[in-house]
Amino acid sequence: MMSREKFPDDMLVCRCEEITAGEIRQAIREGARDVTGVKRRVRAGMGPCQGRTCEKLVQQILCQELRIDPRQTGRSTARPPVRPVPFGELAEGVSKNDL
């Protein structure tokens, strides 16, 4: 069961993207109705942890603001980690004839 405690607007919810509870509430006022809607508007859950540390808090804020059941908030879609790849690594083993 989720807490009924209302978080202050300046409380950091998503550490990776530095998103506050106030920014999440603003996203809800602008039309977000689930975790994915919040993610699209403010990037909460799009950092390196992919929402593993903030998704429950985002769900909790959605439940409080919209007065909905946690099952209605949905879950974010997990994405594989992204890291820069040097061009040389991409081209390794490719010759001009292969292009």
The angle, 0 to 180 degrees and rounded to 10, between the axes of the packed helices 21-29 and 55-66 is: 50
Q: What per-residue confidence (pLDDT) applies to 96?
A: 59
5-43 pLDDT, tens digit each: 799 999 999 999 999 999 999 999 999 999 999 999 999
- DSSP readout, 15-35? TTTTEEHHHHHHHHHTT--SH
Q: What per-residue confidence (pLDDT) applies to 1?
A: 42
Domain residue ranges in the chain: 7-67
Q: Is 82 helix (H, G, I), strand (E, B) or coil?
A: coil
34-93 pLDDT, tens digit each: 999 999 999 999 988 889 899 999 999 999 999 999 999 998 776 665 667 777 777 776
> Taking the mean position of all CA atoms in its chain, how far away is CA 43?
5
Q: What per-residue confidence (pLDDT) applies to 21?
A: 98
- CATH superfamily placement of domain 7-67: BFD-like [2Fe-2S]-binding domain (1.10.10.1100)
The pair phi, psi for residue 4, each rounded to 5°, is: -95, 0
The pTM is what? 0.74
